[in-house]
Amino acid sequence: MKIIICKDYEHMSRFSADIVIEQIRQKPDSVIGLATGSTPLGMYKELIRQYKKGRVDFSKVVTFNLDEYLGLSPDHPQSYHYFMFNNFFNHINIKIENVNLPGGITAYNLDGVCREYDEKIEKAGGIDLQILGIGHNGHIGFNEPGKKLYTQTHIVSLSHETIKANSRFFDHIDEVPRKAITMGVGGIMRAKKILLLASGKDKAAIIKKAFSGIITTEIPASLLQLHKDILVILDKEAAKEL
């Protein structure tokens, strides 16, 4: 595990975008696992900027998103589907057929949908580069702390902490979906390379706990310490308790 401390959010965003660009230069048909949340927004902005300058070509890139709320339509402004198109896909030359997001409102056979998602990732050759944020409780994707973690894509009941944290994007906490679909920890760990981004002082405590040398399902991100090729990219504030 390598930890890189950047001077601020902008630097962290540029640094991580450069790694994504390098990955795509090396392998134009890279399979990239993407995350939502406020943390990777700066990286997406930088990738769009570099794309507009002609420095990166997404035409062969395949993406798989980590997670999605259940019960929100893809055009709901808080759905991760909407987030990804609005903040990234609509601004680059990615092919729509190469974009994959789990779930969707029409998903009634949820177990089947979960299995299909994992199969699709496998068929695509597995994830070359996985982008991750981290929840204040140590969740990755929507793999919430608990006595056990799931390896495969699955349906999860969101913890009260996550519902509260994510309510900042909704008009009222009652509007936050209680369930979500997420890639499992196994799917994340199978990625060939992982970039975990965290910024701001409110992430400092969980970063310390997650990368302290102890592994526990109560802090799902701590499992990442076992990955062979993980880069943790922090700004100074998020690194301040290390």
Contacts with ligand GLP, residue ranges (CB under 6 A)? 35-39, 66-67, 133-135, 141-142, 162, 166
Active site residue 137: yes
Q: Least distance from C-beta 41 to ligand GLP, angstroms?
A: 8
Angle at 177 between CA 172 and CA 181, to 5 degrees: 155
d(CA 109, CA 125): 25
Active site residue 166: no
Which residues are paired to 180 by β-bridges? 69, 156
Active site residue 93: no
Catalytically annotated residue among 46, 68, 118, 144: 144
| Residue carrying structure tokens 């405590």 | 205
Q: Least distance from C-beta 109 to ligand GLP, angstroms?
A: 23
Nearer to ligand GLP, 56 or 165 (CB): 165
Q: Report the 10 Å Cβ neighbour count for 228.
A: 9
Q: Least distance from C-beta 134 to ligand GLP, angstroms?
A: 6
Q: Least distance from C-beta 29 to ligand GLP, angstroms?
A: 25
Active site residue 161: no
Catalytically annotated residue among 46, 118, 128, 137: 137
Q: Report the 10 Å Cβ neighbour count for 169.
A: 13
Nearer to ligand GLP, 31 or 181 (CB): 181
DSSP secondary-structure letter at 234? Answer: E
DSSP secondary-structure letter at 141? Answer: T
Residue 9 is which amino acid? Answer: Y
- Which are the contacts of 115, defined by CB distance < 8 A and separation ≥ 6? 152, 153
Nearer to ligand GLP, 148 or 168 (CB): 168
Among all residues, which ones are annotated catalytic? Answer: 67, 137, 139, 144
